[in-house]
Amino acid sequence: MAVKKDYKDKKLAEKLRDRKYYIPDSNPEFIKEVEKIGLTAAHLCYQCGTCTGSCPSAPRSSYRIRLFMRKAILGLEEEILTDPDLWLCTTCYSCTDRCPRDLAPTDAIMAMRNLAARRDIVPRNFLKTTQLIYQTGHGVPNNDANRAARMKLGLEAEPETTHKYPEYLAGIRKIMDHYGLKERADKILAEEG
Amino acid sequence: MAEVKKNEEPRIGVFVCHCGTNIAGSIDIKAVMEYAKTLPNVAIADDYQYMCSTPGQNKIVEAIEEHKLTGIVVAACSPRLHEPTFRVATREGGLNPFRFEMANIREQNSWVHMHQPEEATEKAKDSVRIAVAKASLLEDLIPKSVPVERAAMVVGAGIGGMQAALDLASAGIKTYLVEKNPTIGGKMSQLDKTFPTLDCSQCILTPKMVDVFRHENIELLTYTEVEAVEGYIGNFDVTLRKKARGVLTLEEAEARGFVGGGCNGCGDCEDVCPVIRPNPFELGMAPMKAIYIYHPQVSPLLYTIDFDSCVKCNLCVDICGDKKAIDLNAKDEFETVKVGTVILATGYDIFPIEEKFEWGYKNYDNVITSLEFERLICASGPTGGHLIRPSDGATPKKVAFVLCAGSRDNTGVGKPYCSRFCCMYSLKHAHQIIEKIPDAVPYLFYMDIRSFGKMYEEFYYRIQDEGAKFIRGRVANILEDPVTKNLHVNAEDTLLGRPIDVEVDMVVLAAAVQPAAETDATRRLFGVSCSQDGWLLEAHPKLNPCGTTTAGVYLAGVCQGPKDIPDTVAQAEGAASAASIPIHLGEVELEPYFAVCLEDKCAGCGMCINLCPYQALALVEKEGRTVMQVTEAKCKGCGTCGGFCPGGAIWMQHFATPQIIAQIDAFLLGGEQ
């Protein structure tokens, strides 16, 4: 366990915090949960870095998928679930295509997002998207500019989705209600204010 | 015998090789060739893309006849590479093969002066001029043949030595297998299981031990060491010290007239022996009597007395009774055997890892070495296969494995090389604790996992899948909790970029290996070189890994460098094959580079006799005078005597004084005669 020193100055305490990794600070069950949800043998990652190398997000952000895999193996649950980088994956699946151990890092990330969501740790934009899907059936609903573009291309203004057939929205809402997604998003956003 | 030609007018052919762009890339070949044509005695100069190719060699063959050449110079690569090739071409052209001289303009010129083409070309001209000067004075030489004794010796009876001996013996060669310990089997007999197949080590080893013991062509000499070596390829006289064992074999007893006597391995003596001391086979973790066998599967099954600890109480003699197998007054005996070739398979020891203070071996109770782990996890080991913490006998749950412990270390304390099998056995250890101990977690601290062999990477995958934790980072230090005797392993998880402190119940150090203690003394007896780190030096690291620079002496197993069991067995079979070739040929040709005594000039002073490192020289009476005589087969042509002789009476064939002076003159005078 990390040694805690009782410095009076809070800033100093943070500055001098013991950043060493200790096994008892970790959750050995975390990787098993990730594997159960993600359906991939994440513990077999040998940290080659092909994932981060393939990642379109990595060069433009601080998102490092290899590091998430490593932290998951070490059971650093708190650190992973509270890390905003977890949400920078575009789910392009390039890493999954190229992983030499035939793992699915994308699915491991999705599993970790699931676990974060259980604790209501989800970024605002994802929650807003949830609300939009509930309202319109689309994460990015159609708008006037898009409608004009479609018409110009000789398409109908509304695509063959809930936009054209709003009667199917009820079904989508039923699924989302079953998982409590909208309710959860509303609650978190309300708490954040 | 070929006709020896002398004293003709020298006519030299010079051939300059492009070696693709290896040489031609930085040296102006045409300039060198044109220059060669201006040199004295040069009858023809030519060039070719690859002189070593068949058309290149044909140029030499044809030129010899066409230009009535007396000597050949090829300016190309190192003579270590292609001298034999061009000697054959020279002979095919009708010249004595020793009329050939090589100028190295590749390794010693174009490769090192890649960016100085002008200077390189001038240097190549110098090399050619020097070679021509020597070639003008070369003489016909006739190699000597010596008969080869139809017997071989293998020193060291671990898995490498055993395999080499079995192969030689099965090829019909009488083989002496010499082992310093009372039993054969070596380090492999101390191992529990072998990677990656997880075979029980003893189970695959003991059948081979039995084969060795029973083979009619193998004379097994356990508890025996090499005392002295004389001779040369084909005719080594090896003196062996048979250490006083104090116990007679059935044959030895019969020879003393005790028919039906001798040791049958019953073990009664061990029961009554009052002296208890640590068992070196169990690395001191189990007791042993003064009269002992290492383990139940020893071969030969024969007790041995440790006379350093024996109190000569006679209890064992009494209990042995009519078998009369015990002789407390035994003395070391010496025997000299004659063999044609020798294989060294002297193996390795564990580096004394306590010298790396930061890991606390021998200071903290629960830090052990990998070999100790092997004994503790082995069902026939001191704990019956129950892994326990030395501090309290508890079963460890969390075990840290420290890889590269003392390997890949340039501090001077430790070894600069990779010990090569530690990664794999540590993976195997991780598997063994997962298999044997419920909820056990192995932590492997590694820098790289080097799983290079067949099915090795697959084994790594399997162990990772079984739940072993891999932490990439070399262990910085280990601290002991003085109360619990648990250990804090400090390292950096370099993949996380963060320091890490893992509290474990036990630490296993995958200690580096080093040449066995006796290796250096043994190699000196046989005149074999060693590399900086003490491993015996092969003749060529890639193309002759089993041979040595001493003709007739070969290497097998870890004594040549760290290797695992498959590689050791493969090299042993290679060494056995190499060692059997001279024996099957029946005679070997020696390069005629030996010293010759010019008896007219020799004053018989005898100063050279003691200088010779090979005992090849002697004083003899000839026509009423004392003169020196060379045993040509022993002479290695080192030139020590020839350089020293105050009367200039020793002629070093192929490196004679006039030839060397001519080379020096050619260099210093820059071609001006």
Residues of A in contact with B465 (CB under 8 A): 41, 43-44
CA–CA gap between residue B446 and residue B471 (Å, rounded): 6
Exposure string over B105-118, b if 16+ CB within 10 A, otherwise e:
bbeebbbebeeeee
- Give B39-98 as a 3 state SS string: CCCEEEEEEECCCCCHHHHHHHHHHHHHCCCCEEEEEECCHHHHHHHHHHHHHHCCCCHH
CB contact (8 A) between residue A101 and residue B503: no
pLDDT in tens, B208-263: 999 999 999 999 999 999 999 988 899 999 999 999 999 999 999 999 998 889 99
| Cβ neighbours of A74 in B, within 8 Å | 493, 496
Shortest CA gap B448–chain A (Å)? 11
pLDDT score of B596? 94
Question: What pLDDT is stored for residue B671 in this prediction?
Answer: 58
Whether the per-residue pLDDT at B6 is higher than 60: the answer is no
Tokens 């890949």 sit at which residue? Answer: B408
Nearest to B498 among A19, A41, A66 (CB): A19
Q: For B461-514, what is the HEC assignment?
A: HHHHHCCCEEEECCCCEEEECCCCCCEEEEEEECCCCEEEEEEECEEEEEECEE
Do residue B521 and residue B440 come from a single domain? no
Q: Is B404:B446 a contact under the CB 8 Å cutoff?
A: yes
Sign of CA dihedral B559, B561, B564, B568: negative
Q: What is the reported pLDDT for B617?
A: 93
Collect all residues of chain B within an 8 Å Cβ-Cβ radius of residue A43: 464-465, 467
Pick among 1.10.1060.10, 1.20.58.2050, 3.30.1490.480, 1.20.120.350: CATH of A19-118? 1.10.1060.10
d(CA B558, CA B422): 13
Q: Span B37-43, mean pLDDT?
A: 95
Option in A21, A24, A67 nearest B499 (CB): A21
Q: Is this complex's ipTM strictly greater than 0.90?
A: no
Instruction: Tell me the two tokens of residue A185.
Output: 């998003």
- Residues of chain A with Cβ-Cβ distance to B498 below 8 Å are 19-21
Q: Is residue B657 part of a domain?
A: no
Tell me the β-bridge partners of B220.
Answer: B177
Domain boundary among B585, B615, B638: B585
Contact B465 A70 (CB under 8 A): no
Answer yes or no: is B115 within a domain: yes
Q: Is the pLDDT of residue B2 over 50?
A: no
Residues of A in contact with B467 (CB under 8 A): 43
Say how far apart CA B376 and CA B392 lie, in whole Å. Answer: 14
In this complex, which of A24, A71, A101 lies closest to B496 when CB atoms are compared? A71
In whole angstroms, what is the distance from residue B493 CA to residue B501 CA? 10
Distance from the B511 Cα atom to the nearest Cα atom in chain A, whole angstroms = 24
CA dihedral A92, A97, A101, A104 (to 10 degrees): 40
Written as one string, the DSSP assignment of B503-562 is EESEEEEEE-EEE-TTHHHHHHHHT--B-TTSPBPPSBTTTBSSB-SSTTEEE-GGGGS-
CATH 1.10.1060.10 range(s) for chain A read 19-118
Q: Which of B538, B560, B585 is the last residue of a domain?
A: B585
CB B37 within 8 A of CB B73: no
The residue with tokens 């003691």 is: B610
What whole-number distance in Å separates Cα of residue B110 and Cα of residue A53?
41
Q: Which residue, B470, B351, B475, B366, is CA-closest to B416?
A: B351
Kindly state whether residue B577 falls inside one of the protein's structural domains: yes
**Closest alpha carbon within chain A to B489:** A22
Which tens digits make up the pLDDT trace of A148-181? 999 999 999 999 999 999 999 999 999 999 999 9
Q: Is the pLDDT of residue B487 over 70?
A: yes
Chain B's closest residue to A100, CA to CA, is B461
Q: What is the CATH number of the domain that holds B87?
A: 3.40.50
Instruction: Quickly count: other Cβ atoms within 10 Å of residue B357's Cβ.
Output: 11
Closest residue in chain A to residue B467, using alpha carbons only: A43
- How many residues would you count in chain A? 193
Say whether the peptide bond before residue B482 is cis (omega within 30 degrees of 0).
Answer: no
Residue B448 located in a structural domain: yes
The answer to which of A1-10, B87-96, B564-573 has the lowest mean pLDDT is A1-10
Please indicate if any CB of chain B lies within 8 Å of the CB of A73.
yes
Number of CB atoms found within 10 A of residue B362's CB: 14
- For the stretch A174-182, contacts whose Cβ atoms lie closer than 8 Å and that sit 24 or more positions apart, written own/partner, are A176/A130, A176/A133, A176/A134, A181/A130, A181/A134, A182/A130, A182/A131, A182/A134
Could you tell me if B223 and B296 lie in one domain? Answer: no
Are residues B269 and B341 part of one domain?
A: no
Q: State which residues form the domain around B531.
A: 151-243+336-347+516-585
* pLDDT tens-digit readout, B604-662: 999 999 999 888 899 999 989 999 999 887 888 889 999 999 999 999 999 999 999 99
CA B650 to chain centre: 34
B158, B397 in Cβ contact below 8 A?
A: no
pLDDT tier at B5 (50, 70, 90 boundaries)? low
Phi, psi dihedral angles at B599 (to 5 degrees): -65, -30
Residue at B661 is within a domain: no
CA–CA min distance B486, chain A (Å): 14
Question: Do residue B51 and residue B176 come from a single domain?
Answer: no
The answer, yes or no, to whether the previous bond of B390 is cis (omega within 30 of 0) is no
Cα–Cα distances in Å, from B660 out to B131, B136, B664? 10, 12, 6
Q: B247 with B298: CB under 8 angstroms? A: no
Residue B409, exposed/middle/buried by CB under 10 A (0-12, 13-18, 19+)? middle
Query: Using an 8 Å Cβ cutoff, are B353 and B514 in contact?
Result: no
Same domain, B468 and B532: no
Q: State the number of CA atoms in the 13 A half-sphere of B201 facing the CB.
A: 25
Residue A79 at interface with chain B, using a CB cutoff of 8 Å: no
Mutate to test the interface with B, among A17, A18, A30, A43 (most CBs of B within 10 A): A43
* Stretch among A4-18, A137-151, B118-132 having the lowest mean pLDDT: A4-18
* Separation of alpha carbons B519 and B537, rounded Å: 12
CB-based contact A24 B503, cutoff 8 Å: yes
pLDDT digits (tens, 9 = 90+) for B355-394: 999 999 999 999 999 999 999 999 999 999 999 999 999 9
A72 with A104: CB under 8 angstroms?
Answer: no
Q: Which residues contact B174 (CB under 8 A, 6 or more apart)?
A: B150, B151, B152, B217, B219
Percent of chain B with pLDDT over 90: 91
B136 & B191 share domain: no
Residue B7 has pLDDT above 60, yes or no: no
Across the A:B interface, residue pairs with CB atoms under 8 Å apart total 44
Longest CA span, chain B? 92
Report the distance separating Cα B376 and Cα B387, nearest Å: 5
The CA-based dihedral angle spanning residues B246, B250, B256, B261, taken in that order and rounded to the nearest 10 degrees? 90
Same domain? For B212 and B340 the reply is yes
- Same domain membership, residue B604 and residue B578: no
pLDDT in the model for residue B134: 96
Confidence of residue B589 (pLDDT cuts 50, 70, 90): confident
Helix (H/G/I), strand (E/B), else coil: B273: coil
d(CA B294, CA B311): 20
Alpha-carbon gap: B512 to the closest alpha carbon of chain A (Å): 25
Q: Mean pLDDT for chain A?
A: 93
Tokens of B655: 């490196």
Q: From CA A157, how far away is CA B92, in angstroms rounded?
A: 91
Residue A94 neighbours by CB under 8 Å, 6+ apart: A54, A55, A56
Query: Does some domain include residue B3?
Result: no
Which pLDDT band, with edges at 50, 70 and 90, does B81 fall under?
confident
Number of domains composing chain B = 5
Residue B315 falls inside a structural domain: yes
- Given A20, A24, A47, which is nearest B499 (Cβ)? A20
Between CA B354 and CA B364 the distance in angstroms is: 10
Average pLDDT of the residues of chain B:
94
Residue type at A193 in one-letter notation: G
Taking contacts as CB-CB distances below 8 angstroms, the residues of chain B near A71 are 496
* A window 127-186, beta carbon within 8 A of B: none
What burial letters (b/e) apply to B425-445, b meaning 16+ CB within 10 Å? bbbbbbbbbbeebeebbbbbb
A5 touches chain B (CB under 8 A): no
Residues B426 and B405 in one domain: yes
CB contacts under 8 A, B 496-535 vs A, are 496, 498-503
Interface check for A70 against chain B (CB to CB < 8 A): the answer is yes
**Side-chain half-sphere exposure of A35, counting CA atoms within 13 A:** 15
Q: What is the pTM of this model?
A: 0.85
Cβ atoms of residues B475 and B490 within 8 Å: yes
Of B467, B469, B495, nearest to A47 by CB-CB distance is: B495
Residues B215 and B259 in one domain: no
Out of A20, A44, A46, whose CB is closest to B501?
A20
Structure token digits, residue B407: 């390997």
Pair B469, B534 in one domain: no
Same domain? For B173 and B139 the reply is: no
Q: Which residues, in sequence order, are bridge partners of residue A21?
A: B500
DSSP letter assigned to residue A17: -
Q: With an 8 Å Cβ cutoff, are B470 and A44 in contact? A: no
Asked, for residue B2, whether it belongs to a domain, the answer is no
**Does the beta carbon of A62 lie under 8 angstroms from any beta carbon of chain B?**
no
Q: Using 50, 70 and 90 to split pLDDT, how confident is the model at B1?
A: very low
- Which of A20, A43, A74 lies closest to B464 in CB terms? A43
